[in-house]
């Protein structure tokens, strides 16, 4: 399946607001290929040459609903440079616990499916524990993440319920701050 900026479902499409269905395990060949193609999109999207050649918008994550497939599939690739890389190809991910403390990106969030600017702070949990089937490891996993990685995973998992990042922005005070929150630059 070709995944590029032209095939990404935008927020004007009602499909983006539909909840995604759980995926049967073991993973079918079709679902595995789809998830690996999603991961490859994210990997390629941060390479300026590939991004231009393939018509990709930069991303650190993508959910299957964003390509019109209502399945609980999420791919994330975060490159920390010399500090390494975190990659996930998750099936049926769910947050099983989280911190009370909030976190947010200082400049707000963006999304492949959102063309128009939606400015404001998006409050999320600073730490989460996720349970899922990891297609890269080919097993069930439970893992903890914090900070930026937690925000990215919460953003993608929100897509599985039909929620977009700007649903979490306070319309009366979009740049509201939380002195107790972890602010990520």
Q: Using one digit for the tens of pLDDT, what is the confidence trace for 111-147?
A: 999 999 999 999 999 999 999 999 999 999 999 999 9
Domain span holding position 85: 14-184
Cα separation of 26 and 72, whole Å? 14
Model confidence at 2, in pLDDT bands (50, 70, 90)? confident
Angle at 15 between CA 20 and CA 154, to 5 degrees: 50
Model confidence at 1, in pLDDT bands (50, 70, 90)? confident
Containing 44, the helix (H) or strand (E) segment is helix 29-45
Number of domains in the chain: 1
Q: Using one digit for the tens of pLDDT, what is the confidence trace for 48-74?
A: 999 999 999 999 999 999 999 999 999
> Mind telling me the catalytic residues?
156
What's residue 179's pLDDT? 94
CATH assignment of the domain containing 38 = 3.90.45.10
Is 87:152 a contact under the CB 8 Å cutoff?
no
| Long-range Cβ contact pairs of 30-36 (< 8 A, separation 24 or more) | 31/71, 31/73, 31/91, 32/135, 33/1, 34/1, 34/64, 34/69, 34/71, 34/73, 35/64, 35/73, 35/75, 35/89, 35/91, 35/135, 36/89, 36/135
What's residue 114's pLDDT? 97
Is 152:122 a contact under the CB 8 Å cutoff?
no
Model confidence at 16, in pLDDT bands (50, 70, 90)? very high
What's residue 94's pLDDT? 98
Q: Using one digit for the tens of pLDDT, what is the confidence trace for 82-111?
A: 888 999 999 999 999 999 999 999 999 999
- What backbone torsions phi and psi does residue 13 show, to the nearest 5 degrees? -90, 125
**Cβ density class 85-104: b for 16+ within 10 Å, e for less:** ebebbbbbbebeebbeebbb
**Model confidence, pTM:** 0.95
Average pLDDT over residues 136-165: 98
Looking at the domain assignment, is residue 2 inside a domain?
Answer: no
Cα separation of 90 and 3, whole Å? 18
What's residue 49's pLDDT? 95
Looking at the domain assignment, is residue 167 inside a domain?
Answer: yes
Higher pLDDT, 25 or 82: 25
Residue 89: closest CA among 47, 128, 141, 48 = 141
Looking at the domain assignment, is residue 4 inside a domain?
Answer: no
Cα separation of 123 and 169, whole Å? 8
- Is residue 77 packed enough to be buried (19+ CB in 10 Å), middle (13-18) or exposed (0-12)? buried
């Amino acid at each position: 399946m070709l995944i590029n900026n032209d095939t990404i479902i935008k927020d004007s499409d009602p499909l983006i607001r539909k909840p995604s269905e759980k995926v049967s395990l073991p993973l079918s060949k079709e679902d595995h290929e789809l998830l690996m193609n999603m991961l490859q999109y994210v990997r390629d999207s941060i390479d300026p040459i590939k991004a231009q050649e393939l018509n990709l918008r930069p991303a650190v994550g993508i959910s299957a609903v964003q390509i019109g497939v209502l399945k609980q599939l999420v791919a994330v690739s975060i490159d920390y440079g010399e500090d390494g890389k975190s990659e996930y190809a998750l099936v049926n991910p769910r947050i099983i616990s989280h911190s009370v403390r909030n976190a947010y990106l200082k400049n707000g969030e963006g999304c492949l499916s959102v063309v128009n600017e939606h400015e404001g702070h998006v409050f999320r949990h600073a730490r989460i524990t996720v349970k899922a089937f990891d297609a890269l490891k080919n097993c069930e996993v439970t893992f903890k993440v914090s900070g930026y990685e937690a925000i990215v995973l919460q953003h993608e998992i929100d897509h599985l319920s039909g929620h977009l990042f700007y649903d979490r922005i306070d319309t009366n005070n979009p740049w509201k701050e939380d002195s107790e929150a972890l602010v990520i630059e």
